[in-house]
Structure 1
């Protein structure tokens, strides 16, 4: 059994993240970086709370061009933030609709970036501002700063994971791998998609996962027609193909991979489709090396799928980055030229429509290493498992 990683990170981990971000900020001409979303706040500070489920109050962290981050947050979060490595915690009594941190944040940005400075914010693809968007121009005007896109800095920081981050992802992957191995014992006559998924969710937590916010189970006769809906109350029956896909979390870090089972029996088309996506996964893992582009990884898998008669797929890509979020950049896509580096964590996810309205998708999680990819998941069986 994979040892349970320690929770949280030492101060040195956050110092390295801050240094990496500040070097990227200098290259981008930024005098400060403003982050608001839970993943960025947690990445730079270590602050985590279930209170993110409440959208009432905005939360801000400012990373200056030098020195430690400054938190500008509602008073209710002060004890938790002061328990992190952040020492400069500025608060206001929230919620305060008349001035919900606007004055405090504007003053902080003016102090840290300087009048006329440039502040990067979460303005790019796959990022989001967790604040009233209309207040950003007001804050910029009051702070006398220019707001620019901070996406390149954030991506540069989060693209390569530290070994401590990888340990957490690896543990989530092993927990889910072990739980998947037990799925045949969870399936009973008359079960619905929902009952199987509910049992698996409990098993994942019992094995050491914190939560499984993404846990989908979909079945279809001779193949499923989607991978993002369900589970439903549809009973499983002979000839069904069941896919279960999980984004299971340990200490904030996701795994994301699926497994397939045939119920009772599988026809030849289903077996051939499974063999094709399994082989495409092997090729994708082999192609994922330092210096390779993700479009090259996509091409290697796409060629295998095309050779197997794929009718395409509606997912739009064949995998993606992984970490504090279920899906992160880059995308295994023909137009994504991101260069892989040691420490990049990816899902390898080939999928194909092998008959009208019938899909087969397979997924594994890997980390890029100097000598080739390290498989973080326990590799799926090379042939489609059949549950009696």
Structure 2
């Protein structure tokens, strides 16, 4: 199992400021989620909408500021790599033991029912004004902001101009450090451990919840004795038989006559893997064999193009065209893969027909050519690669085919 040292701060602030300046932004707001964690180094437990925001001015002479709840202030001071911390109250009561013992504790009003979003937006506006940026061009990833929060933000900053910053964050996070790559390699190894445990366990009568329980137990067992693993959780997407829609719980149960679609991930220090295979109980029938061969033909055609300089759309065309040529001429996808990083979901840019961006060393790519056949089952082969200066390196070690399971 790959060993990963304790969390290292991956964000290059000089690069971020250069990207902001190139985009004509005076400041940028990392609005919670992966962007907030990436620029601050702090994984905030209370990451509610408008509850975790980092303000980074483009001018390095102006100090950044982060906004977090008072409840997580101590943790933020321990992990945060930026400057000033502003806090806001939650509905909860936080006492000070020395004040209680001295009899000096005072009643302090709390927001109800949870926290004051408008006050948070006014606090951000004040921080911008203190830095002379209240009328500046402010970058923000619009997809991460609720309509309510954005309305309150614009009311607090009537002279500011807001610009879409998704591209800045994409460019900032696109090429990974060696430490980030090591996290995703370890996450992939653990995901395969869980998937192989599912294939090796008796599955008769289990639904998707039962499959996930086996997977989770195998992953946690593999981490026993490693208190510094950086483990953050798992994800399983599964469907059993011809009912190809994945379900959280319930649904069909394994009988041994069907295919089982299984897509899974593990998170290490926030960095996720993405692995998938289709389980079969015995030799697949000729129809299933033909479809899996076509799916694998798409992978085999796309993989040689995973080299620096290849436009992402060229990888897409090679993969989709190969599946079509292998006997599925109607096969059409919106993309056949995506970049990876913080989080366990899909991240752009995508290996799609409209993405002309070239592959670069340090990009981590999940490649897949899946097919969901109602009445038959889901066919999945998903693998992860890092683009290197010479070509690529594959994280995934499983054979590119059906994964044999047992009852």
With structure 1 as the length reference, what TM-score do the two structures score? 0.88
**Structure 2 vs 1, CA of residues 313 and 252 (structure 1 numbering), >3 Å: closer, same or farther?**
farther
The one-character-per-residue Cα deviations of 1:251-282 (angstroms, maximum 9, x if unpaired) are: 10110111111123420111122222223222
Partner of 1:2: 2
Q: Per the alignment, in what secondary structure is the counterpart of residue 247 of structure 1?
A: strand
- The answer to whether the aligner puts 1:147 opposite 2:146 as a matched pair is no
Q: Which has the larger radius of gyration?
A: 2
Shift of 1:353: 5.3
CA RMSD between the two structures: 2.4
- Which structure 2 residues correspond to residues 182-197 of structure 1 after superposition, within 5 A? 182-197=197-212
- The match for 2:278 is 260
Structure 2 distance, partners of 1:136, 1:187, is 54
Q: Does 1:387 align with 2:383?
A: no
Q: Look up the match of 1:59.
A: 52
Q: From the superposition, tell whether residues 97 and 165 of structure 1 become closer, same or farther in structure 2 (CA, over 3 Å).
A: same
Q: Tell me the CA shift for residue 192 of structure 1.
A: 3.0
> Does the 8 Å contact 1:319/1:332 carry over to 2?
yes
**SS of corresponding position for 1:51:** coil
Structure 2 partner of 1:88: 84
The equivalent residue for 2:392 is 373
SS in 2 for 1:7: coil
Question: 1:1-388 alignment to 2 at 5 Å?
Answer: 1-3=1-3, 5-10=4-9, 13-14=10-11, 17-52=12-47, 54=48, 58-67=51-60, 69-83=64-78, 84-94=80-90, 95=111, 96-97=115-116, 99-112=118-131, 114-123=133-142, 127-129=143-145, 132-141=149-158, 144-208=159-223, 210-220=231-241, 225-226=244-245, 228-230=246-248, 232-310=250-328, 312=330, 316-325=334-343, 326-352=345-371, 358-382=377-401, 385=404, 387=406
Determine the C-alpha separation between the residues in 1 that align with 2:184 and 2:130.
38
User: 1 CA distance for matches of 2:241 and 2:32?
Assistant: 37
Cα shift at 1:357: 6.2
How far apart, CA to CA, are the structure 2 residues paired with 1:243 and 1:157? Answer: 34
Distance in 1, matches of 2:145 and 2:319, equals 34
Q: Secondary structure of 1:270's match?
A: helix
Deviation at 1:190, TM superposition (A): 3.0
Displacement of 1:230 in angstroms is 4.5
Q: 1:296 to 1:315 in 2, by over 3 A?
A: closer
* 8 Å CA contact retained: 1:194, 1:217: no
The 2-side partners of 1:301 and 1:98 are apart by: 46
Structure 2: 5+ residue runs without aligned partners?
91-110, 224-228
Aligned partner of residue 49 in structure 1, secondary structure:
coil
Unaligned runs of 5+ in 1: none
Moved more, 325-334 or 305-314: 305-314
CA distance in 1 between partners of 2:68 and 2:232 (Å): 26
2:199 is paired with a residue whose SS is helix
Are the counterparts in 1 of residues 118 and 152 from structure 2 also a CA contact under 8 Å?
no
Task: Out of 19-28 and 108-117, give the one that drifted further.
Answer: 108-117
